[in-house]
Every structure is written in C-alpha cells, then in structure tokens.
Amino acid sequence: MRTIVSTAVGCLVASLAFIAFDASAATPTIRVQCEQRGMQRAKISVDGDNLSPIAGQYRAQVVLVSGLGSATSAGAPLVGDEVEFDFDSNAGDVAAGATAIPKNFIDGNVTGKILAPNGTTVISDTVACRIR
C-alpha cells in the first residue's frame, strides 16, 4: 500500500512540475495601436509581451501596408519579458524617446513587428489605424 501511495505522490509531483514548466513557455504576444490626426500628427505604439530573454536588444519596425513607408526603432532591452516602442511625429514625444515619423506617415493600415537582436521577426500584427 505504501508503494502505491508513494508512486501516486511521485506522479503528482512530476505532473505539477511539467505544468509549471509548460506555463513558463508562454507564447509571445504583440499589441499595435496607431492613430493619424489629420495632417498634424501620426502616432504608433508597438508593445511585446512574453518574449524570451536573448543577449542584445529588441527593436520594433512599423511598415505601412501600402508599402509606402517604414520606420525602425533603436534597440531596447526587455523589462521582465516585455518591451515597448513608440513612434511619433510630435517633437516632444520624440525628445522623450519615441522614434520620429512624419506627420502624414499613416495611410490606413500598419504592420508592427518586434525584431530580435539578430533582426529576425519574433512576432507581428497588422491593424487598421484610427484616423481623425
């Protein structure tokens, strides 16, 4: 009887360890938000979550679906498993660290990408931008 209980407890512990390991291997996610305010301002945010630590810094790239423009950020380190990037035409936001884009950069849809330190795309998403 003791052997059966001991074996059952061992299997339970092994199962819980596997579940904990599996949960830590979360799938990367991305959130892309963008807005064009007439001809006065363009603003894009690209945020990544559940990213694996890799030596070096991640970058973000935004590409217009029309193919008429793109911009790539400077590198940024992970904070935990997250990284955030802003692209903006507002001089104050650029001075605060956003990547500069023209005021009329957005023409409808944008693809945001998180790039690994070696330049490969980790994850991307295409969104329709809010136009005001």
Beta bridge partners of 60: 114
Which domains does the chain possess? 29-131 (2.60.40.10)
Whether the Cβ atoms of residue 116 and residue 54 lie closer than 8 Å to each other: yes
Per the structure block, which two tokens stand in for 58?
């991640």
pLDDT of residue 2: 53
Beta bridge partners of 76: 58
Per-residue b/e over 38-60, b at no fewer than 16 CB within 10 Å? eeebbbbbbbbbebeeeeeebbb
pLDDT of residue 24: 52
Beta strands 41-49 and 29-37: pairing type? antiparallel
Query: Mean pLDDT in runs of 10 for the chain (132 residues)?
Result: 47 42 73 95 97 91 92 95 97 98 94 96 97 90
State the DSSP string of the chain. -HHHHHHHHHHHHHHHHHHHHHHHSPPPEEEEEEEEETTTEEEEEEEEESPPP-SS-BEEEEEETTSS-EEEPPPB--BTTBEEEEEES-HHHHHTTPEE--TT---SEEEEEEE-TTS-EEEEEEEEPEE-
pLDDT of residue 46: 98
The answer, as to whether pTM is greater than 0.75, is yes
